[in-house]
Amino acid sequence: MTRISWTLQALDDVESIRRYVARDSEEYASLLVSRFLQAVERLSDFPVSGRIVPEVGDAQLREVISGSYRIVYRVLDDEVVIVTVHHGARLLRFT
């Protein structure tokens, strides 16, 4: 099993999304966060199961889709690092 960790950026992204959605529905905000966690959970067994991020083309930088959101992660030797959670309608930029 591969270890999963989250960057501070990714955690901030999830919290920002949760707060935004919670303005309309606390219940849906909680459900959305649960779906993010479920989407990431499978990466411990299948770390390269997500697609390569097309904007970057680096085999180590991959993503899984959860609803309208892209969960971008980096595959390392024994770890998957969640880099960001990003709405699919927004431009994804990496520096």
Q: Which tens digits make up the pLDDT trace of 57-90?
A: 899 999 999 999 999 999 998 999 999 999 988 8
pLDDT at 65: 96
Q: What total of structural domains would you count in the chain?
A: 1
CATH number, position 76: 3.30.2310.20
Whether the pLDDT of residue 9 is over 90: the answer is: yes
* Residue 44 tokens, joined: 């411990």
Range of the domain at 80: 3-87
pTM, rounded to two decimals: 0.92
Residue 93 lies in a domain: no
